[in-house]
């Protein structure tokens, strides 16, 4: 792996961790030899988990995606984070029941949640139920 691709992969992972943690998910990096996804994000209730593959270019990770789908149980959903993807790749993800999202979308979700929490903390209140529900709903539609 080149230094550029290592930096890109680190950027993807850091952004995913920040975003999922802003939604109160714990993130566990997978460093095992046989693991094909970079991390697992699990909500604190333990009832929702996502296996995250950071794939700057989807076409270079097709085999990894297939292997991950076979190894994942029904208790976790595969999320593939990419720089950009085409309609064919989007349709393939729908057919194969995994989420395909861009890094920009992940960043947007994370920034929105951080801004809401910051604003509410400054005002001395908690995140409003309406804002949280709307943001969580839009995120659930994506994942």
Q: Is there a domain that residue 97 lies in?
A: yes
| Helices and strands in the chain: count of H runs, count of E runs | 5, 5
38-81 per-position pLDDT tens digit: 888 888 777 788 899 988 888 888 899 999 988 887 888 899 99
Q: Is there a domain that residue 119 lies in?
A: no
Q: Is there a domain that residue 131 lies in?
A: no
What value does the mean pLDDT of the chain take? Answer: 80
Q: Is there a domain that residue 64 lies in?
A: yes
Domain count along the chain: 1
Predicted TM-score of the model (pTM): 0.78
Q: Is there a domain that residue 109 lies in?
A: no
Q: Is there a domain that residue 142 lies in?
A: no
Provide the domain limits for residue 55. Answer: 3-103
- The CATH number given to whatever domain includes residue 18 is 3.40.1350
Q: Is there a domain that residue 122 lies in?
A: no
Q: What gap in Å lies between CA 31 and CA 36, rounded to an integer?
A: 9
Altogether, the residues listed in the chain come to a count of: 143
Q: What gap in Å lies between CA 49 and CA 118, rounded to an integer?
A: 26
């Amino acid at each position: 792996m080149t230094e550029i691709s290592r930096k890109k992969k680190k950027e993807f992972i850091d952004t995913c961790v920040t975003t999922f943690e802003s939604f109160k998910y714990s993130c566990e990096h997978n460093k095992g030899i046989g693991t094909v996804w970079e991390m697992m994000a699990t909500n604190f209730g333990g009832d929702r988990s996502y296996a995250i593959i950071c794939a700057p270019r989807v076409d270079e990770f097709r085999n990894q995606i297939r292997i991950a789908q076979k190894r994942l149980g029904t208790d976790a959903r595969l999320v593939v984070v990419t720089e950009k993807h085409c309609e064919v790749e989007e349709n393939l993800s729908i057919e194969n029941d995994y989420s395909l999202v861009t890094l920009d979308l992940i960043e947007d979700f994370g920034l929105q949640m951080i801004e809401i929490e910051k604003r509410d903390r400054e005002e001395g209140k908690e995140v409003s139920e309406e804002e949280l529900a709307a943001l969580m709903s839009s995120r659930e539609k994506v994942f």
